[in-house]
Amino acid sequence: MVDVGAHTDSGDDLAQGFVQFAVESGVLRFGEFKTKAGRLSPYFFNAGLFDDGNKLGRLAEFYAKALLASGIEFDMVFGPAYKGIPLAATVAVELARRGRNVPFAYNRKEAKDHGEGGTLVGAPLRGRVLIIDDVMSAGTAARESIALIQAAGATPHAVAIALDRQEKATENGLDVPHSAVQYVRHQLGLQVCAIATLADLLLYLSDAQGSADMAAHREKVLAYRQQYGVDEG
């Protein structure tokens, strides 16, 4: 999913390539996993397992291609601590390699009282800021980044993530009818670019149904989506 709305043929190809890459890298796994919301999910996406230079480089390529195809405009990239830091750094490098050189900054969770001090590192936060992270569970990290960016006098403009789980968020322990991505898009007013979505994962599993294992995974993921999924939009 490279666009903030509809898919394109090239976007579908990019999304399918990314899902395959994530599966082959062991980042996207199937089984039974407990989510932050306490649900038992039949799949797990752990971006921390993009754990060598080759994987990070390929991941940055997927982010950069998705961003450039989305048409989202931005003046700089921001990586929220902690997983967002290497993501934003490598994406900034890849964007520059593709002719789109933009400033890069990140935050630390503990303020320094020496050296440059404070919690922000890198380029000054200015203009329209693109936040880069791995996934969204509740939108909490996005809200924290928005507050930091606004406090610095810049404009939080968009968020790029690797995978949109397209499932209901929770508030006070209860399911709500929107996802974290929909909350960020509609309530916080930021554009969201996802390399791939849960729908893309289901398509990948459908295309791989020659494998009995993949067919079984698809049925479980589909059942999970029917229970916790949200309408696209």
**Which segments of 46-83 does DSSP mark as H helices, in order?**
53-70
Q: Which two tokens stand for residue 39?
A: 């649900």
Whole-number Cα distances in Å, 118 to 43, 112, 125, 173: 38, 5, 13, 34
Is residue 109 flagged as an active site residue? Answer: no
Catalytic annotation, pick one of 36, 83, 114, 157: 114
Choose among 137, 135, 123, 47: nearest CA to 92: 123
Say which residues have a Cβ less than 8 Å from residue 15's Cβ, sequence separation at least 6. 1, 2, 7, 195, 196, 197, 200
Other C-beta atoms closer than 10 Å to the C-beta of 51 total 13
Is residue 114 flagged as an active site residue? Answer: yes
Catalytic annotation, pick one of 36, 65, 83, 112: 112
Burial degree of 109 (CB within 10 A; 0-12, 13-18, 19+): exposed
For residue 66, give the 3-state DSSP assignment: helix
Choose among 33, 39, 112, 103: nearest CA to 74: 103
**Residues belonging to the active site:** 112, 114
